[in-house]
Amino acid sequence: MHQDLAQNLRLLCSYYKSIAEVCRRLGINRPQFNRYLGGQHKPSANTLRRLCEFFGVEEQEILLPHGQFRRVVDVRPKIKARPNQEEDFIQEHLDRLDHEARGDVDSYLGYYYEYYQSMSAPGKVLQNLVCLERRGNRVVFQRTERMRATSNEPPCHNRYQGIAYLLTDRLFLVDYETLNRHEVTQTILFPSFRNRVTRLTGLKIGVSDNSERMPCCARVLYEYLGQNVIVRKALANCGLHDLDSNQIDLSIREAVRNDMAPEEYLFRARH
């Protein structure tokens, strides 16, 4: 029975791109699923029910001798890989954004220094390295923080990965922290209205990287470095700086100040 079931499963899997895709959609461990395919183990009653619901067959059918099962499948309409509704839902929205995004976003590809007042270290300016690059039809980016707990300890790096869209006249960047996956941030920047990209300004929203995890919003500035940099040297300049530090240009320090004018009722970006 195990061998017939194994052959029947292999036949059903052949209608999908790969065994890995089937395991991912079912949420089944690949080594365990391989044991079913090899006839070494029979799925539990609950797992067998899930398999049948996924492939669209009856429990008594999937246990038939393989030759009989193949004949049953052959006379039915061709089995089509069932779509993953959650993935399709997400993909639909990403495709819409791809359609609406401006194609001239390529002019923003490359490396940047990112500056904003730290959400977890009051009075400090955080300088990060950001790289925007094209992957297929989309622009993705990595944002790297270089942090040092004490002067005697080596620096550690926090990495954020995300996707960028140039929609109408604003550049939107959404990313998440890849190590602990406990933070999502959004950055909205004014595009450059010059022939050459130099600096982009806007707002960033996220949470403080400490036990408080306070939602915060800060002014941010991106300083363009070019298409190619020596990453190790660029990262060496990153980290926390005092707000009055001469290591950061005065115009940048002024641009990331989080003050509000008396007539301002909302915290606004400044172009």
- Residue at 17: amino acid letter: K
Query: What is the pLDDT, as a whole number, of residue 135?
Result: 85
Query: What is the pLDDT, as a whole number, of residue 53?
Result: 87
> In the block, which residue shows the tokens 């960028």?
164
Residue 122 has pLDDT above 60, yes or no: yes
Query: What is the pLDDT, as a whole number, of residue 237?
Result: 93
- Domain 100-256 classification at class level: mainly beta
Other Cβ atoms less than 10 A from the Cβ of 156: the count is: 11
- Residue 107 is classified by DSSP as G
Residue 78 has pLDDT above 70, yes or no: no
For 125-180, how does the pLDDT look when each residue is reduced to its tens digit (9 = 90+)? 999 999 999 987 889 999 999 887 666 777 888 899 999 999 989 999 999 999 88
Q: So where are the chain's domains?
A: 3-75, 100-256
Give dist(CA 193, CA 195) in Å, integer: 7
CA distances from 164 to 69, 115, 131, 188, 224 (A): 49, 18, 11, 10, 16
Query: What is the pLDDT, as a whole number, of residue 242?
Result: 92
Query: What is the pLDDT, as a whole number, of residue 190?
Result: 96
Classified as helix, coil or strand, 26 is helix
Classified as helix, coil or strand, 217 is strand
Other Cβ atoms less than 10 A from the Cβ of 115: the count is: 25
Computed over every residue of the chain, the mean pLDDT equals 88
Which has more pLDDT, 128 or 210?
Answer: 128
Residue 14 has pLDDT above 80, yes or no: yes
- Rounded mean pLDDT, 237-250: 92
Residue 115 has pLDDT above 90, yes or no: yes
Residue 84 has pLDDT above 70, yes or no: no
CA distances from 181 to 156, 175, 216 (A): 16, 10, 18
Q: Which two tokens stand for residue 240?
A: 């926390």
Banded model confidence at residue 81, pLDDT cuts 50, 70, 90: low
Give dist(CA 176, CA 201) in Å, integer: 20
Contact 171, 162 (CB under 8 A): no
3-75: CATH number: 1.10.260.40
Query: What is the pLDDT, as a whole number, of residue 82?
Result: 59
Give dist(CA 41, CA 3) in Å, integer: 9
